[in-house]
Amino acid sequence: MKVIVLGAGLVGGPMAIDLSKDASFEVTVADINQVALQNLVDRQSEVAVRQGAGSRKIATVVADLSDPVNVSRLVADHDMVINAVPGFMGFQTLKAIIGAGKNVVDIAFFIEDPFELDELAREKNVTAIMDMGVAPGMCNVLIGYADHLLDETKNILYMVGGLPEIREWPYEYKAVFSPVDVIEEYTRPARYIENGKLIVKPALSDPELLNFPGIGTLEAFNTDGLRSLAHTVSCPNMKEKTLRYPGHIEKMRVLRETGFFSQEEIEVRGTRIKPMDLTAKLLFPKWKLEEGEVDITVMQVMVEGTKEGKPVRYTWNLFDKYDPQTRIHSMARTTGYSATVALHMIADGIYTRKGISVPEYIGKQPECVRYLLNGLKERGVIYRETVE
């Protein structure tokens, strides 16, 4: 089976390496960045030497994926696709993939409504799984699963954070995905459901300190992460929160309220600039996660409701770290492996729903949940379940 991964970045590369370990897959990776492609080839060779793995060699293609025509041409000769391009070009890329009639797992996390492509996907007989990372992604799967098990779902809360293991002043943070997307979490109003009503609050609001085993005290705050859950799951109370080391909220509030995250041009000595461009130039290098630097991913998913008249709470906890053997960062592992296992699930005929699927749809099929959790466990990504 011929599989192509669109994007060779922090997550795309590890996904390609993971897929190449299956002898039944012939893997190609496309990206405009030749250096990223070469780094991927080098890393695959290193992993094979360390682990004694006999994976197939990954083919690489230099291509401008911002052009849907190029995307259509690239995927035409493949059986399945993983879409790992940046969010701003994700929707058009997915449309081209579906238009070519290819099953796809998508982690572009674009802002457009994916269900606009549902009719096209059904017409082309395509299975397209959206947002199949860690959060969104596996948290949605687990929420959909718990909602399926309960007679009535009353409360949903999930909290997630990607952090450096070592806290360094001044920010005690490193960006484990696109820094621009991180900043958007701090500026976009946070939407959540409370008592059946949509509530909108500023991002970084409602801070609280919580203790997490293996890491200690973290601060949680509102962000706009419900995405499709706000429309696909019937529950009167739903909220997503982001996790950081204590003190991070106040620093980001100061920058935001001073205007450093603004996209509106201002004049400085006769030159018009966007404050965000200056912020990116100064801040992002300090947030860069260096090669070999240990990152961690922590997530807790909690769903409460009733079953047979009795209150029930399902909780899943994830604590994952950088893998020094493969030199793959935790956020790439937890996000990327969710997508690759989902692709295996489609290839094995376990998940066959046609059209656009958000991850909570997968949670309605217990056999798919077991498949995903087992596949992730085999890769060292373990979700620990508690039922009370």
- Digit-coded pLDDT (tens) for 114-148: 999 999 999 999 999 999 999 999 999 999 999 99
pLDDT over 90 (residue 149):
yes
Q: Secondary structure of the chain: what % helix, strand, coil (to 5)?
A: 35, 30, 35
pTM: 0.93
Cβ neighbours for 198, distance < 8 A, ≥ 6 positions apart: 191, 192, 230
Over range 73-100, report the average pLDDT: 96
**383-387 and 310-321 strand pairing:** antiparallel
Over range 215-223, report the average pLDDT: 95
384 burial via Cβ count (<10 Å: 0-12, 13-18, 19+): exposed
**271-273 and 152-164 strand pairing:** unpaired
- Digit-coded pLDDT (tens) for 1-48: 999 999 998 899 999 999 999 999 999 999 999 998 998 888 887 766
| Residues across the chain | 388
Q: pLDDT band at residue 363, thresholds of 50, 70 and 90?
A: very high
Residue linked to tokens 């106040």: 250
**295-307 and 310-321 strand pairing:** antiparallel
Q: Sign of dihedral through CA atoms 8, 10, 11, 15?
A: positive
At 54 the pLDDT is: 57
Between CA 29 and CA 24 the distance in angstroms is 16
Contact 275, 262 (CB under 8 A): yes
Residue type, 377: K
Catalogue all structural domains in the chain, each as residue range(s) with its CATH number: 2-135+330-383 (3.40.50.720), 138-321 (3.30.360.10)
Tokens of 147: 């909602």
- Digit-coded pLDDT (tens) for 260-293: 999 999 999 999 999 999 999 999 999 988 878 9
